[in-house]
Structure 1
Amino acid sequence: MKRKPIAIPADPTDPEDRDVTTEGLKRGQRARLIRMTRTELGLTQTEFAQRFQVPVGTLRDWEQARVMAPDFAIAYIKVIAQHPDMVAKAVA
């Protein structure tokens, strides 16, 4: 079994802490970007999903880092952050 690279090692003094892989760190950073974009727009997950045509279950999975948002989704989120009204109008 191939070992995944560790980005942040677990704290040896904390029995509940775990290593963070580079993939896990990337997934978490993407989740934070999505969540912050949505909250800065003042939208709930349901409102954001409806406004920008993203399935709400997919949005939840991305925000909770259960699934890593793909590159195209991150690009879409970055455009939404800069031009939310334009994107909402384009997908309506």
Structure 2
Amino acid sequence: MSDEEAMAASRADPDAQPLTPEQLAKMRRVSHVKVLRQRLGMTQAEFAEAFHLPITTLRDWEQRRSTPDAPARALLLAIERDPQVMRKLLADGAA
């Protein structure tokens, strides 16, 4: 099936119509922090405990009530790049 045929088929499906600009404007983006946590398969409590974050802060980030500051963004980037190493480093530091 060509790209044009696939596009025509998708537009013919009444249950899969493209969103209007107005509908897109009403949608909220999912927090990057939430995506990271879910990709790791962790609950909020597990993520907060593993990476020494207050759970209330994590919830505020996920619900976009606040945004991570520069040091928190650096920690989140390190977690994203190598969660196992960060978990180990933080676990060793707690001892």
Q: How high is the TM-score relative to the length of structure 1? A: 0.64
CA contact (8 A) 2:31 2:62 kept: yes
The 2-side partners of 1:74 and 1:33 are apart by 11
Aligned to 1:86: 85
How far apart, CA to CA, are the structure 1 residues paired with 2:85 and 2:69? 22
Corresponding residue of 2:66 = 67
**Structure 1 unaligned blocks of 5 or more:** 1-10, 18-27
One-letter amino acid matched to 1:77:
L
Bigger share in helix: 2
Distance in 1 (CA, whole Å) between partners of 2:59 and 2:71 is 17
Secondary structure at the aligned position of 1:34 is classed as: helix
Q: Secondary structure at the match of 1:48?
A: helix
List structure 1 runs of 4+ shifted beyond 4 angstroms: none
Instruction: For 2:34, give the aligned amino acid.
Output: R
Work out the CA distance in 1 between the residues paired with 2:31 and 2:74.
Answer: 14
Runs of 5+ consecutive residues of structure 2 not aligned to the other structure: 1-20
Normalised by the length of structure 2, the TM-score is: 0.63
Report how many aligned residue pairs link the two structures. 68
**Distance (whole Å) between structure 1 residues aligned to residue 31 and residue 66 of structure 2:** 13
Deviations 1:29-58 (A, max 9, x none): 7x7211111000000100000011101011
Question: Percent same amino acid at aligned positions?
Answer: 35
Q: Which has the higher strand share?
A: 1
Aligned-residue CA RMSD in angstroms?
Answer: 2.2
Greater radius of gyration (CA): 2
1:55 and 2:54 correspond: yes
**Which is bigger in relative contact order (C-alpha 8 A, separation at least 6)?**
1
Following superposition, the deviation at residue 79 of structure 1 comes to 0.8
Deviation at 1:87, TM superposition (A): 0.5
Match of 1:3 in 2: none
